[in-house]
């Protein structure tokens, strides 16, 4: 079994996860084990994964995490992978499209000595036109800049500077994941809290421009521009559900 596991949390993603699985099957580096964590789906998400597993070019595992929240699903998945021999962990989400060199880029950074590597996100091309995609990229850029100057991210004790990362495009060594205490077991958003846990533990955090994932922009359609910006600025979803579906 491979030392690298890719973990995909999923909740009611029967319409989208097939494309994510196909993108993972098309990786240039397929020396990995795929673990899908079904976070209590009530649709046919698990059936889609099982059909994919029957002919997949990589080993596929499916487990269920009934405790709701992306943090719970990711933490359960990472710890399951570690228990079964994973030394390197990568994560994307069930509505995202990792580009073909994604796994290879993650492995290269970790092999070069990084404890954690954060990739680059782009807007999916099948959900919005050019204006919507540009708006999404602009929101991400503003949120990233805001995060660097936010006092909570600049306090003493951090070993690495803050740079916003997307939880759907990251990789980490099993050793650092456990040392940092793992993913907060709670609903989204969890990414900043997890990054700060890692920053408090290690300075070995790098960014990779070749580790690219196409990110879903459905939050933009569900929330609108202002509320989406509010979300990415770590202000939560307010009166809106954290799940934009």
Q: What percent of the chain has pLDDT over 70?
A: 76
Per-residue pLDDT, 237: 46
- SS3 state of residue 55: helix
Q: Which residues contact 186 (CB under 8 A, 6 or more apart)?
A: 69, 71, 72
Domains of the chain: 4-235 (3.90.550.10)
Nearest to 127 by CA among 149, 155, 96: 96
Contact 180, 201 (CB under 8 A): yes
Q: In what order do the strands lie in the sheet with 59-64?
A: 59-64, 33-38, 4-10, 88-91, 170-173, 116-123, 205-215, 97-98
Per-residue pLDDT, 149: 54
Per-residue pLDDT, 201: 96
Per-residue pLDDT, 131: 61
Give the global pTM: 0.85
Per-residue confidence band for 240, with pLDDT thresholds at 50, 70 and 90: very low
Q: In whole angstroms, what is the distance from residue 169 CA to residue 121 CA?
A: 7
Q: Which residues contact 174 (CB under 8 A, 6 or more apart)?
A: 78, 81, 82, 86, 87, 88, 89
Over residues 163-201, the pLDDT tens digits come to 777 889 999 999 999 999 999 998 767 888 899 899 999
Per-residue pLDDT, 187: 76
Over residues 55-65, the pLDDT tens digits come to 999 999 999 99
Peptide bond preceding 189: is omega within 30 degrees of 0, i.e. cis? yes
Per-residue pLDDT, 245: 47
Q: What is the mean pLDDT of residues 45-50?
A: 98
Over residues 122-150, the pLDDT tens digits come to 887 776 667 666 666 665 555 555 555 56
Over residues 72-89, the pLDDT tens digits come to 999 999 999 999 999 999
Q: In whole angstroms, what is the distance from residue 112 CA to residue 115 CA?
A: 9
The average confidence (pLDDT) of the chain is 85
Q: Which residue has the higher pLDDT, 30 or 165?
A: 30
Cβ neighbour number for residue 181 with a 10 Å cutoff: 13
């Amino acid at each position: 079994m491979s030392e690298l596991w890719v973990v995909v949390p999923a909740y009611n993603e029967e319409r989208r996860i097939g494309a994510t699985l196909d993108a993972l099957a098309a990786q240039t580096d397929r020396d990995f084990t795929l673990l899908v964590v079904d976070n209590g789906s009530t649709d046919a998400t698990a059936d889609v994964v099982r059909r994919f597993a029957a002919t997949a070019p990589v080993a596929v595992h499916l487990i269920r995490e009934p405790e709701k929240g992306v943090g719970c699903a990711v933490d359960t998945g990472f710890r399951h992978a570690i228990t079964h021999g994973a030394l390197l962990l990568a994560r994307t989400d069930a509505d995202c499209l990792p580009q073909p060199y994604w796994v290879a880029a993650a492995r290269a950074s970790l092999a070069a000595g990084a404890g954690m590597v954060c990739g680059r996100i782009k807007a999916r091309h099948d959900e919005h036109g050019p204006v919507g995609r540009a708006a999404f990229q602009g929101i991400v850029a503003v949120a990233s800049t805001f995060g660097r100057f936010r006092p909570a991210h600049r306090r003493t004790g951090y070993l690495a500077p803050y740079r916003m990362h997307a939880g759907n495009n990251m990789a980490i060594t099993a050793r650092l994941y456990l040392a940092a205490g793992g993913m907060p077991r709670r609903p989204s958003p969890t990414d900043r809290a997890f990054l700060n846990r890692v920053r408090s533990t290690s300075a070995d955090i790098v960014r990779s421009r070749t580790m690219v994932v196409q990110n879903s922009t459905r939050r933009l359609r569900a929330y609108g521009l202002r509320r989406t910006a509010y979300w990415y600025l770590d202000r939560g979803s307010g009166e809106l559900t954290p799940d934009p579906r």
